[in-house]
């Protein structure tokens, strides 16, 4: 886009950008992501009256935006999750188990503090991206996620006598990094013959499991951090009924078994949980 003024960024400019990216071989998903950034920057320009300086009515057909078809969205099975955890060290094993049991985004999980875990419930207040602490992805991302009793007890054993700091931390007390964690996960996947994928596979597993258990849809979206879909969803207050949430949590469970993983599993005994 060169030195194009923000006031001149319109459908025609974006169409030219889409054409350049298409010719360069960018994937449809990448093209859509870049266009989203451009539109967000234009929308962020606001005057003293709070109104947008450059209101736009974006026309995707005119821009010739590509459609995303057969997008690669891999997930893990319950058996694969159990095997992955059994091969991981204590901190990574607990992290993978937490991701699969809650559907947290990796940045949300890595930003968790000890004080964010109270009475079997996690409070999501922040996220970490590229090593920086940020606000949650959307307003719906600030939420509470409930844990079944047995899993909550396992997490408490993992925490042991710590009272502050990150739930998952390095020896220096800083939050663990996503790239370093992938260097732990990917070799395990290769060893087990599981297709390479990132942490979102655990999140997809959780959403799928909750759907299979016929979890109320508005409660599912609350736990996962997605927005309401209808006006009716806005009126429903299931997320505010803590007793109901806990009862559903116990009923649906986590969808995989952490208690029959074999003697070598790093999550088998509490005294092994916080070694790293």
Give the pLDDT of residue 213.
96
Residue with tokens 């930003």: 111
Q: Say yes or no to pLDDT of 132 above 90.
A: no
Give the pLDDT of residue 227.
72
Average pLDDT of the chain to the nearest whole number: 86
The answer to whether 20 touches 64, Cβ cutoff 8 Å, is no
Summarize pLDDT for 215-235 with one digit per residue, the tens.
Answer: 998 899 999 988 766 555 555
Nearest to 72 by CA among 109, 130, 28, 23: 28
Please give the CATH architecture assigned to the domain spanning 78-273.
Answer: Orthogonal Bundle (1.10)
Integer Cα distance of 254 and 102 in angstroms: 8
Summarize pLDDT for 53-111 with one digit per residue, the tens.
Answer: 999 999 988 888 887 666 667 899 999 999 999 999 989 999 999 999 999 999 999 99
Integer Cα distance of 100 and 45 in angstroms: 39
Angle between helices 78-87 and 90-102 (to 10 degrees): 160
The answer to whether 127 touches 141, Cβ cutoff 8 Å, is yes
- Kindly list the domain boundaries of the chain, sorted by start residue: 6-63, 78-273
Token pair, residue 110, equals 């890595």
Q: Place 261 in a pLDDT band, splitting at 50, 70 and 90.
A: low
More confident residue, 25 or 237: 25
Residue 260 to residues 63, 173, 267: CA-CA distances in angstroms? 54, 32, 10
């Amino acid at each position: 886009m060169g030195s194009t003024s923000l006031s001149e960024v319109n459908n025609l400019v974006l169409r030219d950008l889409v054409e350049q990216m298409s010719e360069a071989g960018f994937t449809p998903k990448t093209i859509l992501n870049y266009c989203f950034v451009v539109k967000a920057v234009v929308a962020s320009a606001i005057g003293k009256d709070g109104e947008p300086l450059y209101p736009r009515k974006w026309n995707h057909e005119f821009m010739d935006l590509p459609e995303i078809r057969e997008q690669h969205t891999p997930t893990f099975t319950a058996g694969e999750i159990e095997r992955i955890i059994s091969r991981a060290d204590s901190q990574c094993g607990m992290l993978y188990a937490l991701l699969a049991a809650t559907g947290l985004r990796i940045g949300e999980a890595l930003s968790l503090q000890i004080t964010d875990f109270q009475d079997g419930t996690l409070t999501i207040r922040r996220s970490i991206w590229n090593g920086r602490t940020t606000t949650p992805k959307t307003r719906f991302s600030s939420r509470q996620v409930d844990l079944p009793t047995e899993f909550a007890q396992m997490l408490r054993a993992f925490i042991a006598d710590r009272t502050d700091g990150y739930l998952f931390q390095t020896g220096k007390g800083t939050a663990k990094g996503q790239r370093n964690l992938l260097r732990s996960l990917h070799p395990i996947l290769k060893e087990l013959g599981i297709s390479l994928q990132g942490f979102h596979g655990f999140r997809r597993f959780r959403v799928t499991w909750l759907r299979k258990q016929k979890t109320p849809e508005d409660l599912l979206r609350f736990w996962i951090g997605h927005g309401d879909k209808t006006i009716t969803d806005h009126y429903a207050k299931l997320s505010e009924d803590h007793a109901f949430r806990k009862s559903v949590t116990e009923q649906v469970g986590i969808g995989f078994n952490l208690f029959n993983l074999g003697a070598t599993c790093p999550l088998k005994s509490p005294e092994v949980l916080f070694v790293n």
